[in-house]
Structure 1
Amino acid sequence: MVGAVARRGSGAAGSTAAGISGTLAPTGPAGPPAVAGPRQELSAAARAAMAKGVPAQTARGYAGDWQRFEQWAAENGLRAMPASAETLTEYVAWLTVTPRPRTGRPYKPSSIDRAMASIAVAHQAAALPQPAQIGARLVLRGYEAELKTTKDPRGKVRKAGAATPRVLRLMIAATDTTTLIGARDAAALTNGFALAARSSEETATTPHRERESDRHNRSW
């Protein structure tokens, strides 16, 4: 009897285990293989390739701007990465009133604009959303208006000098005229020089001219 009960019990346990196993086991044809998620970090080779696309002077300026922002954030108990829109606005407001060690005067609007760009680039490189610039832009706009009202030299925009024939020849020589885009750019340079036109005026004379970003967007 004991043996029969034991055999009956073991049979029940076996059928229960089989039932659970059958319930958990997938039924029907196997699904597609798992696909790896998006890469979270760039490889060293990709970062090095990206760095080659940034001019050395620009890279140095961005690095200095980012270091100053990180230091300011640490001193004020704020997070630099990722930064919030409020943090960026506070930083821009601070730049408009804080004397620079080298000049003893607050930053120029163009320098502040570059600092904002460096913060945005740093967030993009880290694959993080960049802070919204609406508040910071309003602060910068008010600062520019104040400098113009007081006729402060920092509010003046430095204008580039007119191109000379020698400069025009150098620009055309640096253009690949064997391609359609290069030939177009060379013709636009020559046309603009002959008309003594600004870039906006020259663009207006060629309404068919298409920006690279527009062409790229349409291709999608």
Structure 2
Amino acid sequence: MTNRDLSVSSSSTPPAAAVPARPEQFDEQTRAALDHIDRQAVRVVADGRPERTRTGYAQDWASWTTFCAESGVPLLAVTPGTLTAYVEWLWTQPGWKTGSLMAPSTIDRRISGTVVSAREEHGVKPEKGVARLARNRLAQLVKEMEKSGEKRGRGQAAPLLVDHLVTISAACPENLRGIRDRALVLMHFAVAGREHELAANRVRDYADAPGGIQADLRVSKVRPRVVPVPYGSRPSICPVRAWTAWKEAAELTDPDGPAWRRLHSRWHTLMGGGLSAEGIGDVITRAGARAGIDVRFTGHSPRRGLATSSRLKGHDQIVIAKQGGWAPHSKVLASYLEVVDQWEDNALLGVL
């Protein structure tokens, strides 16, 4: 091998890297291909959302469609001005379930659902902060409402507390419906569940553990979680014992079958399907009425009740949040706990 063999010629120097084309320089074919990729990505994410979320967005878009038809606004004209006009229109509309004027929280969700649907379902590209003006107008309307003393919506759900559980459990008849209702109310409270989380549960989602049950809330619009449910100190309101009694009485042997089965309205016999999210809430409401409790409970009452009851026993917000799947510093959870804290941590304690 000679020195000539070891030498590197000047012609072997790597060429300078090509300058990449900027987005504004893309040709029509490239733009079309990228738009297709974007639409596919949006569709994959949208299809992966929980059914409850997809249904909510569909209802929001249907509401926007009605507004556009009545006001003459083009359907895809999602702009700061049209969204603000939409808020004004919604403010005069009755709520879906209550029949009273629409709650501000519902209007806020309608705005979000409209913007998301326009972007993801119809390819509209709203400007950044497109809903800011509409939300500012909503805030003004809320202030006017509070000043006048007007009430809208149903307000926060009443908390279902431990004393209520005792009364409800005692009032449940010793038939299949009573056994199911007792188990459902107690488990709903224990896991601080949302209605749709329990409606999605299968028998296998309640697994026996040395200290009780591991409840797998695998379907959630927020965050799936596995919740440890220990044996209760009082057998009459123990969620573990109540679940076992329901499972045995209903002969729930199929691990993939619904955990909370529908019952015939007259004969109280098992039916093929499971309870819907709305059906879960109806069981909670009827259980409270059956027990003669003067408070009207909803499907959210056990969830709020667990947070309230746990705080009364001195548990930290982080611990409560983990049980119920709230964000660690959830403002909603904090508002529930504030009801307790205002008496336990009051500036007047020891003063007067």
Q: Normalising TM by the smaller chain, what interval? A: 0.5 to 0.7
Q: Which structure has the higher relative contact order (CA within 8 Å, separation 6+)?
A: 2
Aligned partner of 1:139 in structure 2 is 137
Q: Does 1:117 align with 2:116?
A: no
Give the letter for the 1:143 counterpart: L
- Separation (CA, whole Å) in 2 of partners of 1:163 and 1:48: 42
Identity of aligned residues (%): 24
Aligned partner of 1:174 in structure 2 is 225
Q: Does the 8 A contact of 1:148 with 1:156 survive in 2? A: no
Q: How does 1:11-160 map to 2 (within 5 A)?
A: 36-37=30-31, 38-41=33-36, 46=41, 49-100=44-95, 103-125=98-120, 126-130=122-126, 132-154=130-152, 158=156
Give the letter for the 2:111 counterpart: M
Q: Secondary structure at the match of 2:81?
A: helix
Which of 195, 200, 216 in structure 1 is aligned with 2:316?
Answer: 195
Aligned partner of 1:13 in structure 2 is none
Query: Any stretches of 5+ residues in structure 1 without a counterpart?
Result: 1-31, 176-191, 204-220
Deviations 1:103-162 (A, max 9, x none): 443211111011101111113214432251222112211222233334434277526959
- Separation (CA, whole Å) in 2 of partners of 1:86 and 1:70: 16
Deviations 1:36-61 (A, max 9, x none): 22522458865653233222122112
Deviations 1:167-195 (A, max 9, x none): 276479935xxxxxxxxxxxxxxxx9842
When residues 152 and 42 of structure 1 are mapped into structure 2, their CA distance, relative to the original with a 3 A threshold, is farther
Deviations 1:42-95 (A, max 9, x none): 588656532332221221121111012122213322122141211110010111
Q: Secondary structure at the match of 1:39?
A: helix
- Separation (CA, whole Å) in 1 of partners of 2:149 and 2:141: 12
TM-score using structure 2 length:
0.36
Q: Does the 8 A contact of 2:103 with 2:153 survive in 1? A: yes
Query: Greater shift after overlay, 88-97 or 43-52?
Result: 43-52
Q: Does the 8 A contact of 1:85 with 1:133 survive in 2? A: yes
Give the letter for the 2:67 counterpart: W
Number of equivalenced pairs: 163
Deviations 1:193-216 (A, max 9, x none): 84246769965xxxxxxxxxxxxx
Deviations 1:1-43 (A, max 9, x none): xxxxxxxxxxxxxxxxxxxxxxxxxxxxxxx998722522458
Q: Does the 8 A contact of 2:98 with 2:153 survive in 1? A: no
Instruction: Give the number of the structure whose residues are more often helix, by fraction.
Output: 1
When residues 141 and 117 of structure 1 are mapped into structure 2, their CA distance, relative to the original with a 3 A threshold, is same
- Separation (CA, whole Å) in 2 of partners of 1:201 and 1:79: 38
- Separation (CA, whole Å) in 1 of partners of 2:113 and 2:151: 24
Q: Does the 8 A contact of 1:99 with 1:107 survive in 2? A: yes
Aligned partner of 2:268 in structure 1 is none
Query: Greater shift after overlay, 194-203 or 142-151?
Result: 194-203
CA RMSD, 1 decimal: 4.5
Q: Secondary structure at the match of 1:112?
A: helix
Q: Secondary structure at the match of 1:40?
A: helix
- Separation (CA, whole Å) in 2 of partners of 1:95 and 1:149: 20
Structure with the greater alpha carbon radius of gyration: 1
Give the letter for the 1:76 counterpart: S
- Separation (CA, whole Å) in 1 of partners of 2:156 and 2:138: 17
